[in-house]
Amino acid sequence: MPNSHEERIRTAFTRQASTLEDEWLNMAFAASVPWILDQLAPEADDISLDVAGGAGIVSRALAPRVARVVAVDSTQAMIDEGRRRAAV
């Protein structure tokens, strides 16, 4: 089905991938990352799984604190953007 609900959602997130972390568009979530890290209390030998990881804002914040981060997302554009941002 070409216009399924799932496809419309994937299309919307694909369009948002490059701007998802724009500080003016996503201030509330970006501001909550330190709180998220406090709640997780990551340890150096942890392996973290970030489900629906988007462009990786939480994954990148976790990376220096844990042994490994695995991020998954249903939108390839989000994965690509996360990889691009992680390489910076």
Of 88 and 62, the structure prediction assigns the larger pLDDT to: 62
Contact 81, 15 (CB under 8 A): no
Side-chain-side CA neighbours of 28 within 13 Å: the count stands at 0
Which stretches within the chain are classed as H helix? 5-16, 27-40, 57-62, 76-86
Domains of the chain, by residue range, sit at: 5-86
Contact 62, 37 (CB under 8 A): yes
Contact 66, 46 (CB under 8 A): yes
pTM: 0.76
The CATH-assigned architecture of domain 5-86 is 3-Layer(aba) Sandwich (3.40)
Q: What is the pLDDT of residues 17-65, one digit of tens each?
A: 777 777 666 777 778 899 999 999 999 999 999 999 988 999 999 999 9
